[in-house]
Amino acid sequence: MNIDAPYRIQSPLSKNTQATPLPDAGSLICIQIGEDGTISEWSEGATRLFGWTGQEMLGQPSSRLAKELGQTGNGGSDAVVQTKGGQKLAIRSWMVSVEASHLLLIQDRSEEKFLQKALLEAAEREQRRIGQELHDHLCQHLLGAAFATKALAGALDRDKSTHAPALHDLARLVNDAVAQTRDISRGLHPVELDADGLMFALKSLAGRASRTVPCEFRCTQNILISDPERALQAYRIAQEGIAAALHTNAKQITISLSEDANTIDLFVKDDGMIAGELTTDPLGTGARTLHYRARALGGTLSITFQPEQGTTLHCSFPKS
């Protein structure tokens, strides 16, 4: 771990700070806040990161930073802050006691956040591409096979062939394959989500899930999301919740969408008696991706399991 070299600590760290979890790697920017609550040390790294010089910040009240960084605790605090030049940065900060003063440690996470977003978008593009290929090519190919089989079965009917019923059965199987392929395609590449598209997409998702487990979609009001990317993130959260619920021995799944003045709430509930991957492995890829999608919406996500009631996924995010 490379702590910002130009910073000079005037007081030794107290023993109580040894339990404070810090990042394993990455450069830390250090700022010291004096006993009187003002900034007493401002490093060159802080100037490079935020744009303000030591002359501008030394002696300033720490509230100037606290307003930007929010409350910091032993586990660290994530925030998006604005630099002197107006650029937005994703950071994580820790507050460490230094006898009567405090040491504020800051890590720039902008590059990490950018890579997370790029990876998620790449996966989304690939899903859409596969869904489009299934719809435009495989579905059409299977549909052609179904028509050909049906036509041959009709010809055999006219010839009173004993093989005609078997071909009718084959035509039905091919038609079922077309329907299943379309379902997979819609899941990978949902229709473009316009303002009211999320409601229809979730209703369609519930309908497809009902072929395996009874699934109900509840929405008692007209909920509009003007940004299609936000609607897609919410849809993917519900989709992952449904996929996890199908492995909990659930007998009933419910998707609920509601809103108040400023917030939209999305719930996926199941009555499965088995804890799914999202609760048994909260640090796994599935759960972490869901939390990332919720943060991309500017919201929060919780996943809870109760043995007698099942699993509840709740995502709450601002309307805009």
Q: What is the pTM of this model?
A: 0.58
pLDDT computed for residue 253 by the predictor: 96
| Axis-axis angle for helices 197-209, 164-188 (nearest 10) | 140
Q: Are 29 and 22 spatial neighbours (Cβ–Cβ below 8 Å)? A: no
Q: Which of 70-84, 129-143, 266-280 has the highest mean pLDDT?
A: 266-280
Higher-scoring residue by pLDDT: 149, 185: 149
Question: Which pLDDT belongs to residue 72?
Answer: 39
Using alpha carbons, select from 93, 43, 47 the residue that is nearest to residue 68.
93
Residue 272 has a pLDDT of 92
- CB neighbour class for 128 (10 Å; exposed up to 12, middle 13-18, buried from 19): middle
Dihedral sign (CA 238, 239, 241, 242): positive
Please state, rounded to an integer, the average pLDDT across all residues of the chain.
Answer: 79
The type of residue at 81 is V
What pLDDT shows up at residue 2? 44
H and E: helices and strands count for the chain: 10, 11
At residue 194 the predicted structure's pLDDT band, cuts being 50, 70 and 90, is low
* Residue 80, beta-bridge partner list: 90
**139-169, pLDDT tens digit by residue?**
888 888 888 888 988 888 898 888 888 988 9
Structure tokens at 288: 């972490």
Q: What number of CA atoms fall less than 13 Å from residue 160's CA on the CB side?
A: 0
